[in-house]
Structure 1
């Protein structure tokens, strides 16, 4: 397990969870795009490249491979590859489902079952940057699969539920769309839960854990990032999030 708390330079600041010559694991800040987008705002990939260049005084361009993505409003554990070889092997781990991703989310309402598997076919509209559930076989659609488990309801607000989500596929907006489909939109989600959320609320979705074999040594790497102790996350004790880690189960 690697949970070091070195801090990168520059703004916004972010914690380094793991680093060696092949990998860089960080805690993504909320509301920072993973890569360049139409907003023109500073993006995580280029911020980290600049940080590596400065910290190691590297001349020329810095390589950093994007292995997986988090939506802009989502924070938590992410891994990047510092070499093309590592990027290729991690991408293969993703394709072969040997790359584990566990999230925690606060949802409105309570899922119909305490745990379950959701399978839908999703289609992304690039023009509006929205994802919809469509019938199987729809052109351009992709299968989306996740497992969820209810961790508890809030003692302060019984309309809020904390869930653990294990992604078996990595589709855009997957957790947000699939949880909304069972009547449980994410707290703060303005895109898929606007009828239940107020403008300005931060979406409550966090990348709790990323686990995979090291692309060179084969050792198991476990990245852990706990959500901040602020509303609505602080409706639950911190040890509940630790119990939600798959390496503790």
Structure 2
């Protein structure tokens, strides 16, 4: 993918306060800079803050977590050094609840269930492989899913992660015969037109790291007829 974010007008902010900012990432955007040299989402958020608040000099921004490049949905950034370690702690202690929506052509055998695998990452091809039992250098991966809706040609799954592993949802669903729509890397038979995969970080709930208020944030779905049919 060569798509880049160039200015604040491309940014979709769904929540913002003094300490955190949550954006709805588009397919193709990278959260942090990599070897491609494409403009990362973190730089665009910094630019947005600098312009909106007329901040001179360097803008502080902490990256709390990431989403795969072809995935859409919620990404949290920290606007203050006070909030960043607290947000990091929430992720480590699993006190942030993340819900994903995924479109698959082949439904899981059961309408709901829990998937447990051991995942091993291959850095050479940036791909993970799932095993039924623990193997050397593997990490345990757990997710919970349920079928939310049957569409004409696809099924909408809701997925909740118990662990956060490399390409976890993609590889675990593929392993049970339900690869995500558009995900060529993990077994779907054709790509989406925009090179996305139909995996969306839909909802995040957590206690604000500074104000201690309950936050429940939902990301609008990508503009697409199939996603439209999910609502």
Q: 2:166: which partner in 1? A: 172
> 160, 170, 182: which one pairs with 2:176?
182
> 2, 8, 12: which one pairs with 1:15?
12
User: 2:121, 2:131 → 1: CA distance?
Assistant: 10
The CA deviation at 1:67 is 1.1
The CA deviation at 1:11 is 5.5
Q: 1:197: which partner in 2? A: 190
Q: 1:45: which partner in 2? A: 42
8 Å CA contact 2:181, 2:191 repeated in 1: no
TM-score (norm 2): 0.91
User: 1:113, 1:83 → 2: CA distance?
Assistant: 44
Q: 2:101: which partner in 1? A: 104
Tell whether 2:210 aligns with 1:216: yes
How many residue pairs match? The answer is 226
User: 2:91, 2:133 → 1: CA distance?
Assistant: 23
8 Å CA contact 2:134, 2:140 repeated in 1: no
Q: 1:69: which partner in 2? A: 66
Q: 1:5: which partner in 2? A: none
User: 1:113, 1:58 → 2: CA distance?
Assistant: 53
Greater shift after overlay, 48-57 or 145-154? 48-57
CA spacing shift, 1:199–1:235, aligned 2, 3 Å: closer
Unaligned runs of 5+ residues in structure 1 are 1-7, 239-249
Cα-Cα RMSD: 1.9
Q: 1:243: which partner in 2? A: none
What SS is found at the alignment partner of 1:191? helix
8 Å CA contact 1:22, 1:86 repeated in 2: yes
The CA deviation at 1:235 is 3.2
What SS is found at the alignment partner of 1:121? strand
The CA deviation at 1:198 is 3.8
TM-score (norm 1): 0.85
